[in-house]
Chains A and B, each alone.
Chain A
Amino acid sequence: MKWLDKLTVNSSRRLAQNSSRRSFITRFGTALVGGAAIPLLPVARASASSSGGGMYPGVAAQESGVKGDPGDPSQCDYWRYCAIDGFLCSCCGGTQNSCPPGTEMSPITWIGTCLNPEDGKSYIISYNDCCGTSSCGRCLCNRNERDTPIYRAQTNNDTNWCLGASSTVYTCSTAIVLGVATDSAS
């Protein structure tokens, strides 16, 4: 390995002796090393991804992957969330259809209809709450379309719908499609 040491010493000495302090090569070298160090600095990279369209820092954009189901399930303006009031399970480790690990889906739920912009039909949506761990706290979405006062409790979204689960601690909300709201004329 001595030859490598010798080569390095000789070449760097030659460079130092033959180039001036103000030469292009020294400045270029400094810029190269300095520039490479900048991305290594500790910055919150999670917030950078939210500028790509996410609703909450650290939550990337999503899609349902189903044809005819447009929009981003991690966004409050997703069509199924027309009457939701709560934290979106899509941002909490679950999806728009499923609960995050460690929580239980309440069987008792409140049901409404939402218009799918893709085909212009109204779909019956079940807002099953996920229960059992403390509130998720991410992606709060409160749209309240056709929400009714508490005396019409079956379509009131301020109710804690965890009343059917083994724990009544609310975690987040899903929006499950039950079917098309068919009218009696069809």
Chain B
Amino acid sequence: MATVFRIFALCLLCFPATSWTAMEPRTNYMINCQGCHLADGRGKAGSVPSMKGELHKFLTVPGGREFLVQVPGSANAPLNDAELAELLNWMLGSMSSGTSNNNFSPYTEAEVKKLRAKVLVDVMKTRERLVRQFAENK
């Protein structure tokens, strides 16, 4: 009888937890971002910056890749590092042409963990600097 239990216990370890409740990136976007950034990421001119067709531009300038993780909306979201990495990759692909670039390397959990640990002190100034840079690159 004891062996039966042992086998049973081992089998429980074989299967991943079926009650995994992590949300898929689109759902996480809807719950944590869409309220202000709207369904397609266009935001509201003057108060909520647009991400639609804009997001990938941050990857083209130094510091931009870090900014997308450290911006308070990302860094403070109630998501773990893996979920945030997945969400950012999804957003770059579906709202912007970020992932169509051959050089694009997706965010990983480890990268997000590292970048998220650093607090962005002056968000507005950093953003202005980045936007000015990619405007000049055009």
Contact = CB atoms under 8 A, between A and B. Distances in A.
Interface string B37-74: 01000001001100000000000000000000000010
B22 to A, nearest CB: 5
B30 A152 contact: no
A182 B27 CA distance: 6
B5 interface: no
Interface residues of B, number: 23
A111 B27 contact: no
Interface string B70-85: 0001001010000000
A163 B76 CA distance: 21
Given A107-B38, A107-B44, A111-B35, A179 B30 contact: yes
Contacts of A183: 20-24, 27
Chain A, interface residues (CB within 8 Å), range? 20 to 34
A111 B30 contact: yes
B35 A182 contact: no
Interface of A: 107-113, 124, 126, 152, 154, 163-164, 178-179, 181-186
A-B interface, 5 closest residue pairs, ranked by CB to CB distance from nearest:
A184-B24, A111-B35, A185-B20, A110-B35, A184-B22
